[in-house]
Structure 1
Amino acid sequence: MKTLLSDGPSAHHPTEIEQFGRLAGQWTTRITYHPADGSPSRTISGEWEFGYALEGRAVLDVWRWPGREDVPATGRTPDQECGLCVRIWDPRLQLWRFTFHGTARGDLLHMFARRIGDEIVMERAAGSDLVRWTFGDITADTFHWRNQRSSDGGRTWRLDQEVHARRLKSH
Protein backbone atom coordinates (compact mmCIF):
# COMPACT_ATOMS: atom_id res chain seq x y z
CA MET A 1 0.00 0.00 0.00
CA LYS A 2 2.89 2.36 -0.72
CA THR A 3 0.69 4.55 -2.89
CA LEU A 4 -2.01 4.81 -0.23
CA LEU A 5 0.09 5.56 2.85
CA SER A 6 2.51 8.46 3.13
CA ASP A 7 5.31 9.39 5.55
CA GLY A 8 4.21 12.98 6.06
CA PRO A 9 2.28 15.95 4.74
CA SER A 10 2.54 17.17 1.17
CA ALA A 11 4.27 20.46 0.46
CA HIS A 12 0.91 21.57 -0.99
CA HIS A 13 -1.17 23.18 1.77
CA PRO A 14 1.03 21.96 4.67
CA THR A 15 -0.64 24.20 7.26
CA GLU A 16 -4.07 22.84 6.42
CA ILE A 17 -2.89 19.20 6.25
CA GLU A 18 -1.37 19.55 9.73
CA GLN A 19 -4.77 20.41 11.22
CA PHE A 20 -5.48 16.66 11.21
CA GLY A 21 -1.92 15.51 10.50
CA ARG A 22 -0.77 16.44 14.01
CA LEU A 23 -2.92 13.52 15.18
CA ALA A 24 -0.79 11.01 13.21
CA GLY A 25 -0.01 8.05 15.44
CA GLN A 26 -1.80 5.59 17.70
CA TRP A 27 -4.20 6.59 20.45
CA THR A 28 -6.06 4.77 23.21
CA THR A 29 -9.55 6.09 23.86
CA ARG A 30 -12.28 6.15 26.47
CA ILE A 31 -15.62 6.58 24.69
CA THR A 32 -18.64 7.76 26.63
CA TYR A 33 -22.19 7.56 25.25
CA HIS A 34 -24.81 9.94 26.64
CA PRO A 35 -28.28 8.56 25.76
CA ALA A 36 -30.85 11.14 24.68
CA ASP A 37 -33.49 9.48 26.87
CA GLY A 38 -31.59 10.37 30.05
CA SER A 39 -30.61 6.80 30.90
CA PRO A 40 -27.14 6.38 32.44
CA SER A 41 -24.07 7.05 30.33
CA ARG A 42 -21.83 4.13 29.41
CA THR A 43 -18.10 4.14 28.76
CA ILE A 44 -16.00 1.70 26.73
CA SER A 45 -12.40 1.53 25.58
CA GLY A 46 -11.29 2.07 22.03
CA GLU A 47 -8.37 2.72 19.73
CA TRP A 48 -7.81 5.39 17.10
CA GLU A 49 -4.96 5.51 14.59
CA PHE A 50 -4.22 8.42 12.24
CA GLY A 51 -1.80 8.64 9.33
CA TYR A 52 -0.96 10.58 6.20
CA ALA A 53 -2.13 9.23 2.85
CA LEU A 54 -2.33 9.91 -0.87
CA GLU A 55 1.08 11.55 -1.22
CA GLY A 56 0.50 13.49 2.00
CA ARG A 57 -2.60 15.24 0.64
CA ALA A 58 -5.02 13.38 2.92
CA VAL A 59 -5.27 12.09 6.48
CA LEU A 60 -6.80 8.66 7.11
CA ASP A 61 -7.83 7.23 10.40
CA VAL A 62 -9.18 3.95 11.66
CA TRP A 63 -11.14 3.82 14.86
CA ARG A 64 -12.37 0.78 16.70
CA TRP A 65 -14.21 -0.07 19.85
CA PRO A 66 -13.95 -1.82 22.06
CA GLY A 67 -10.18 -1.68 22.35
CA ARG A 68 -8.22 -4.88 21.86
CA GLU A 69 -7.85 -5.38 25.62
CA ASP A 70 -11.63 -5.49 26.04
CA VAL A 71 -12.44 -7.89 23.18
CA PRO A 72 -13.26 -11.35 24.56
CA ALA A 73 -11.31 -14.44 23.50
CA THR A 74 -14.02 -15.18 20.91
CA GLY A 75 -12.85 -12.10 19.01
CA ARG A 76 -16.31 -10.50 18.73
CA THR A 77 -18.63 -8.56 20.94
CA PRO A 78 -22.27 -7.88 20.12
CA ASP A 79 -21.56 -4.13 20.16
CA GLN A 80 -18.43 -3.14 18.28
CA GLU A 81 -17.28 -0.96 15.41
CA CYS A 82 -14.27 -0.60 13.17
CA GLY A 83 -14.46 2.40 10.88
CA LEU A 84 -12.34 4.22 8.33
CA CYS A 85 -12.27 7.99 7.93
CA VAL A 86 -10.86 9.74 4.87
CA ARG A 87 -10.10 13.46 5.13
CA ILE A 88 -9.01 15.42 2.05
CA TRP A 89 -8.29 19.16 2.02
CA ASP A 90 -10.17 20.96 -0.76
CA PRO A 91 -8.24 24.14 -1.60
CA ARG A 92 -11.09 25.50 -3.76
CA LEU A 93 -13.58 25.35 -0.89
CA GLN A 94 -10.98 26.00 1.82
CA LEU A 95 -12.32 23.14 3.94
CA TRP A 96 -11.96 19.41 4.48
CA ARG A 97 -14.11 16.82 2.74
CA PHE A 98 -14.65 13.99 5.17
CA THR A 99 -16.08 10.50 4.69
CA PHE A 100 -16.65 7.90 7.42
CA HIS A 101 -17.17 4.23 6.55
CA GLY A 102 -18.48 2.18 9.48
CA THR A 103 -18.03 -1.52 8.82
CA ALA A 104 -20.14 -2.97 11.63
CA ARG A 105 -23.41 -1.27 10.68
CA GLY A 106 -22.69 -0.21 7.11
CA ASP A 107 -22.64 3.49 8.02
CA LEU A 108 -21.51 5.93 5.35
CA LEU A 109 -21.30 9.58 6.37
CA HIS A 110 -20.15 12.61 4.41
CA MET A 111 -19.21 15.78 6.25
CA PHE A 112 -17.31 19.00 5.77
CA ALA A 113 -14.72 20.14 8.30
CA ARG A 114 -13.00 23.40 9.10
CA ARG A 115 -10.93 24.91 11.82
CA ILE A 116 -12.82 27.20 14.18
CA GLY A 117 -10.49 28.78 16.74
CA ASP A 118 -8.51 25.96 18.35
CA GLU A 119 -10.99 23.26 17.31
CA ILE A 120 -11.65 21.27 14.15
CA VAL A 121 -15.39 21.05 13.49
CA MET A 122 -17.09 18.57 11.14
CA GLU A 123 -20.76 19.11 10.30
CA ARG A 124 -23.61 17.48 8.42
CA ALA A 125 -27.39 17.42 8.25
CA ALA A 126 -29.08 14.23 9.48
CA GLY A 127 -32.74 14.47 8.57
CA SER A 128 -34.04 17.57 10.35
CA ASP A 129 -31.11 17.54 12.82
CA LEU A 130 -27.65 19.02 12.58
CA VAL A 131 -24.72 16.85 13.69
CA ARG A 132 -21.37 18.25 14.75
CA TRP A 133 -18.19 16.28 15.46
CA THR A 134 -15.49 18.37 17.13
CA PHE A 135 -11.82 17.76 17.92
CA GLY A 136 -10.78 20.04 20.77
CA ASP A 137 -8.24 20.41 23.56
CA ILE A 138 -5.60 19.00 21.21
CA THR A 139 -2.13 18.65 22.71
CA ALA A 140 0.84 16.53 21.63
CA ASP A 141 -0.44 13.63 23.75
CA THR A 142 -4.20 14.11 24.24
CA PHE A 143 -7.36 15.33 22.57
CA HIS A 144 -11.07 15.44 23.29
CA TRP A 145 -13.63 14.59 20.58
CA ARG A 146 -17.36 15.15 20.90
CA ASN A 147 -20.44 14.26 18.86
CA GLN A 148 -23.31 16.71 19.32
CA ARG A 149 -26.77 16.98 17.81
CA SER A 150 -29.11 19.93 17.40
CA SER A 151 -32.83 19.64 16.69
CA ASP A 152 -33.42 23.40 16.63
CA GLY A 153 -31.20 24.59 13.78
CA GLY A 154 -28.06 24.93 15.89
CA ARG A 155 -29.42 27.11 18.70
CA THR A 156 -28.80 24.37 21.27
CA TRP A 157 -26.69 21.20 21.17
CA ARG A 158 -27.04 17.88 23.01
CA LEU A 159 -23.90 15.82 23.72
CA ASP A 160 -24.38 12.29 22.34
CA GLN A 161 -20.86 10.91 22.57
CA GLU A 162 -17.38 11.99 23.63
CA VAL A 163 -13.93 10.53 23.37
CA HIS A 164 -10.92 11.24 25.54
CA ALA A 165 -7.77 10.12 23.73
CA ARG A 166 -4.22 9.57 24.91
CA ARG A 167 -1.33 9.07 22.49
CA LEU A 168 0.35 5.67 22.53
CA LYS A 169 2.79 6.09 19.68
CA SER A 170 3.66 8.85 17.21
CA HIS A 171 3.48 8.26 13.48
Structure 2
Amino acid sequence: MTTSVPRFTEALIAPGPTPEYPGRMRRFGQLVGTWAAKGSRLDEASGAWRERDFTWIVEFVLDGRAVQDIEVVVSDTHPSGFETVAMAVRVYDPHAGAWRVSYFAPKIGEYCHLVATPHRNGLRQDGTGTDGRPIRWNFVSITDDAYTWEGWVSDDEGATWLLVEHNEATRIR
Protein backbone atom coordinates (compact mmCIF):
# COMPACT_ATOMS: atom_id res chain seq x y z
CA MET A 1 0.00 0.00 0.00
CA THR A 2 1.41 3.36 -1.02
CA THR A 3 0.56 6.48 0.93
CA SER A 4 1.62 9.95 0.11
CA VAL A 5 2.99 12.17 2.80
CA PRO A 6 1.55 15.69 2.76
CA ARG A 7 3.74 18.73 2.82
CA PHE A 8 3.71 20.76 6.04
CA THR A 9 1.40 23.49 4.73
CA GLU A 10 -1.01 20.93 3.25
CA ALA A 11 -1.24 19.15 6.60
CA LEU A 12 -1.55 22.36 8.61
CA ILE A 13 -3.87 24.63 6.63
CA ALA A 14 -7.53 23.61 6.48
CA PRO A 15 -9.92 24.58 3.68
CA GLY A 16 -12.43 25.94 6.18
CA PRO A 17 -13.86 25.60 9.69
CA THR A 18 -14.88 22.31 11.24
CA PRO A 19 -18.63 21.78 10.87
CA GLU A 20 -18.85 20.74 14.54
CA TYR A 21 -19.12 24.31 15.91
CA PRO A 22 -20.12 26.56 13.00
CA GLY A 23 -21.15 29.61 15.04
CA ARG A 24 -18.19 29.48 17.38
CA MET A 25 -15.69 28.92 14.59
CA ARG A 26 -17.04 32.06 12.90
CA ARG A 27 -15.84 34.23 15.80
CA PHE A 28 -12.21 34.12 14.72
CA GLY A 29 -12.97 32.54 11.35
CA GLN A 30 -14.37 35.85 10.16
CA LEU A 31 -10.80 37.12 10.25
CA VAL A 32 -9.45 34.47 7.85
CA GLY A 33 -7.77 36.28 4.99
CA THR A 34 -5.00 38.81 4.49
CA TRP A 35 -5.07 42.28 6.03
CA ALA A 36 -3.07 45.49 5.54
CA ALA A 37 -2.61 46.83 9.06
CA LYS A 38 -1.44 50.10 10.56
CA GLY A 39 -0.48 49.95 14.18
CA SER A 40 0.86 52.09 16.95
CA ARG A 41 2.64 50.75 20.01
CA LEU A 42 3.39 52.62 23.23
CA ASP A 43 6.93 52.60 24.60
CA GLU A 44 5.97 52.59 28.27
CA ALA A 45 9.41 53.80 29.39
CA SER A 46 9.41 56.96 27.25
CA GLY A 47 5.67 57.45 26.72
CA ALA A 48 6.24 57.73 22.96
CA TRP A 49 4.04 55.96 20.42
CA ARG A 50 5.74 54.16 17.50
CA GLU A 51 3.87 53.68 14.23
CA ARG A 52 4.24 50.55 12.15
CA ASP A 53 2.76 48.88 9.07
CA PHE A 54 2.40 45.13 8.73
CA THR A 55 0.48 42.42 6.92
CA TRP A 56 -1.63 40.04 8.97
CA ILE A 57 -2.37 36.65 7.39
CA VAL A 58 -4.99 34.38 8.99
CA GLU A 59 -5.91 30.79 8.04
CA PHE A 60 -7.91 27.89 9.43
CA VAL A 61 -5.62 25.10 10.68
CA LEU A 62 -5.83 21.76 12.52
CA ASP A 63 -8.65 20.40 10.37
CA GLY A 64 -10.59 23.64 10.88
CA ARG A 65 -10.56 23.47 14.69
CA ALA A 66 -8.23 26.44 15.06
CA VAL A 67 -7.16 29.70 13.44
CA GLN A 68 -3.51 30.62 13.04
CA ASP A 69 -2.17 34.01 12.11
CA ILE A 70 1.19 35.44 11.24
CA GLU A 71 2.38 39.02 11.22
CA VAL A 72 4.82 39.92 8.47
CA VAL A 73 6.74 43.11 7.73
CA VAL A 74 8.73 44.25 4.71
CA SER A 75 12.43 43.50 5.09
CA ASP A 76 15.30 44.73 2.95
CA THR A 77 17.68 42.26 4.58
CA HIS A 78 15.60 39.07 4.35
CA PRO A 79 15.96 37.08 1.07
CA SER A 80 12.16 36.73 0.71
CA GLY A 81 11.60 40.49 1.05
CA PHE A 82 9.57 40.04 4.21
CA GLU A 83 10.09 38.88 7.77
CA THR A 84 7.62 36.95 9.92
CA VAL A 85 7.73 38.68 13.30
CA ALA A 86 4.88 37.08 15.25
CA MET A 87 2.29 34.33 15.18
CA ALA A 88 -0.71 33.26 17.19
CA VAL A 89 -2.75 30.10 17.36
CA ARG A 90 -6.37 30.33 18.51
CA VAL A 91 -7.96 26.97 19.27
CA TYR A 92 -11.62 26.59 20.19
CA ASP A 93 -12.04 24.56 23.41
CA PRO A 94 -15.56 23.09 23.40
CA HIS A 95 -15.24 22.00 27.04
CA ALA A 96 -14.56 25.56 28.22
CA GLY A 97 -16.78 27.21 25.59
CA ALA A 98 -13.92 29.62 24.86
CA TRP A 99 -10.90 30.03 22.62
CA ARG A 100 -7.40 29.34 23.94
CA VAL A 101 -4.87 31.74 22.45
CA SER A 102 -1.08 31.46 22.36
CA TYR A 103 0.98 34.30 20.88
CA PHE A 104 4.69 34.24 20.06
CA ALA A 105 6.95 37.13 19.00
CA PRO A 106 10.48 35.80 19.63
CA LYS A 107 12.36 38.80 18.20
CA ILE A 108 10.91 41.07 20.91
CA GLY A 109 10.70 38.30 23.54
CA GLU A 110 6.92 38.32 23.88
CA TYR A 111 5.06 35.09 24.68
CA CYS A 112 1.45 35.38 25.84
CA HIS A 113 -1.39 33.03 26.66
CA LEU A 114 -4.99 34.22 26.73
CA VAL A 115 -8.60 33.04 26.76
CA ALA A 116 -10.95 34.65 24.24
CA THR A 117 -14.71 35.16 24.51
CA PRO A 118 -17.25 37.27 22.60
CA HIS A 119 -17.56 40.84 23.84
CA ARG A 120 -19.98 43.45 22.47
CA ASN A 121 -19.44 43.53 18.69
CA GLY A 122 -15.97 42.01 18.91
CA LEU A 123 -13.81 39.61 20.88
CA ARG A 124 -12.02 39.95 24.22
CA GLN A 125 -8.82 38.06 24.94
CA ASP A 126 -7.67 38.09 28.56
CA GLY A 127 -4.41 36.63 29.79
CA THR A 128 -0.94 37.25 31.08
CA GLY A 129 1.96 38.92 29.33
CA THR A 130 5.54 37.74 29.36
CA ASP A 131 6.26 40.12 32.26
CA GLY A 132 3.46 38.58 34.36
CA ARG A 133 1.07 41.53 34.09
CA PRO A 134 -2.57 41.00 33.09
CA ILE A 135 -3.22 41.79 29.44
CA ARG A 136 -6.43 42.33 27.50
CA TRP A 137 -6.47 42.23 23.72
CA ASN A 138 -9.76 43.35 22.21
CA PHE A 139 -11.05 43.19 18.69
CA VAL A 140 -13.38 46.13 19.29
CA SER A 141 -14.84 46.22 15.80
CA ILE A 142 -14.90 43.58 13.09
CA THR A 143 -16.61 43.96 9.73
CA ASP A 144 -16.20 42.02 6.49
CA ASP A 145 -13.55 44.49 5.32
CA ALA A 146 -11.95 46.01 8.43
CA TYR A 147 -11.11 45.50 12.07
CA THR A 148 -9.89 47.55 15.00
CA TRP A 149 -7.80 45.91 17.71
CA GLU A 150 -6.54 47.28 21.04
CA GLY A 151 -3.95 45.93 23.45
CA TRP A 152 -4.20 46.82 27.13
CA VAL A 153 -2.04 46.08 30.17
CA SER A 154 -2.75 46.40 33.88
CA ASP A 155 -0.32 47.21 36.67
CA ASP A 156 -2.92 46.64 39.43
CA GLU A 157 -4.38 43.20 38.66
CA GLY A 158 -7.09 44.57 36.38
CA ALA A 159 -8.42 47.45 38.48
CA THR A 160 -7.25 49.88 35.77
CA TRP A 161 -5.96 49.38 32.23
CA LEU A 162 -3.41 51.22 30.08
CA LEU A 163 -3.78 51.22 26.28
CA VAL A 164 -0.40 50.14 24.87
CA GLU A 165 -1.26 49.17 21.30
CA HIS A 166 -3.84 50.07 18.66
CA ASN A 167 -4.20 48.47 15.21
CA GLU A 168 -6.56 49.18 12.34
CA ALA A 169 -6.66 46.98 9.27
CA THR A 170 -8.42 46.56 5.97
CA ARG A 171 -8.90 43.29 4.15
CA ILE A 172 -6.79 42.81 1.02
CA ARG A 173 -7.80 39.17 0.42
Per mean C-alpha deviation after superposition, the further-off stretch among 51-60 and 120-129 is 120-129
Deviation of the 1:161 alpha carbon: 0.8
Q: What's the TM-score once normalised by structure 1's chain length?
A: 0.85
Residues 108 and 35 (structure 1), Cα distance of their counterparts in 2 relative to 1, 3 Å cut: closer
* Unaligned segments of structure 1, at least 5 residues: none
Aligned to 2:111: 108
Amino acid aligned to 1:93: A
Deviation of the 1:149 alpha carbon: 0.7
Q: What's the TM-score once normalised by structure 2's chain length?
A: 0.84
Give the alignment of 1:19-168 within 5 angstroms: 19-37=27-45, 39-64=47-72, 67-68=73-74, 71=75, 73-75=76-78, 82-126=85-129, 129-168=133-172
Larger radius of gyration between Structure 1 and Structure 2: 2
* Unaligned segments of structure 2, at least 5 residues: 1-8
Task: State, as a whole percentage, how many aligned pairs show the same letter.
Answer: 26
Determine helix, strand or coil for the equivalent of 2:78: coil
Calculate the aligned-residue CA RMSD, in Å: 1.9
- For residues 31-82 of structure 1, give each alpha carbon's deviation from its aligned partner in whole angstroms, at most 9, with x where no partner exists: 1012334533120111101111111111110013xx32xx3x3339xxx861
Aligned to 2:5: none
Residues 106 and 38 (structure 1), Cα distance of their counterparts in 2 relative to 1, 3 Å cut: closer
Q: Distance in 2 between matches of 1:162 and 1:91?
A: 30
Q: Distance in 2 between matches of 1:33 and 1:102?
A: 14
Residues 103 and 38 (structure 1), Cα distance of their counterparts in 2 relative to 1, 3 Å cut: closer
Q: Which structure has more RCO (C-alpha within 8 Å, separation ≥ 6)?
A: 1
| Contact kept in structure 2, 1:81 and 1:104, CA below 8 Å | no
